[in-house]
Amino acid sequence: MVDKEELASPFFPLSDDYRARDFPLYWVARLNAKYSAEVDALLKPLGLSSSKWRVLMILHEQGRLSMSDIATHVVAKLSTVTKIVYKMQETGLLETAPSPQDGRVTEVALTEDGEAKLAEARGLTGRIVEKAFDGLEKDEIVYVNQCLSKMFRNLNAI
């Protein structure tokens, strides 16, 4: 638990001693931007982007999902995800269908071409992941995930 004295440290933006480089979310934002730019550059020749990559990955992991569930997982606006999904459907990577439970909901799934494109993309993006995690031990990665997950839960409780 962070107390008021700790809030006055350079880690927190409300402090007079605040320094961006000491704020964890500064690094989260920079890391995400750098990772996305690297993925975009690497996957462009495949006709993919970091956004399309995230859609492929979450559908591969979760199976058939609604547009809103995809938006939640890939951290994007529903309107943005809808555009991405329909573009990917046009290229044969995804298929959409009304939900059997609620016809107003559009569900999305990977096609065989989508799975093949994902496999190709994973081969390329593996280099970025290896580079990003170089020198980190498994327990360090687990700890970072635990901390970020706790922060996320804290923000959701607001």
What are the angstrom distances between the C-alpha of 14 and each of 8, 29, 49, 95, 120?
7, 18, 36, 47, 45
Res 8: pLDDT: 58
- What is the reported pTM? 0.85
Please give the chain's pLDDT, 158 residues, in tens.
666 565 557 777 777 788 888 888 999 999 999 999 999 999 999 999 999 999 999 999 999 999 999 999 999 999 999 999 999 999 999 999 999 999 899 999 999 999 999 999 999 999 999 999 999 999 999 999 999 999 999 999 98
Considering Cα of 100, then 101, then 107, then 110, what sign does the dihedral take? negative
- The CATH number of 24-121 is 1.10.10.10
Res 158: pLDDT: 80
Res 4: pLDDT: 57
Q: How far is CA 8 from the centre of its chain?
A: 31
- With beta carbons less than 8 A apart as the criterion, state whether 113 and 92 touch: yes
- With beta carbons less than 8 A apart as the criterion, state whether 98 and 92 touch: no
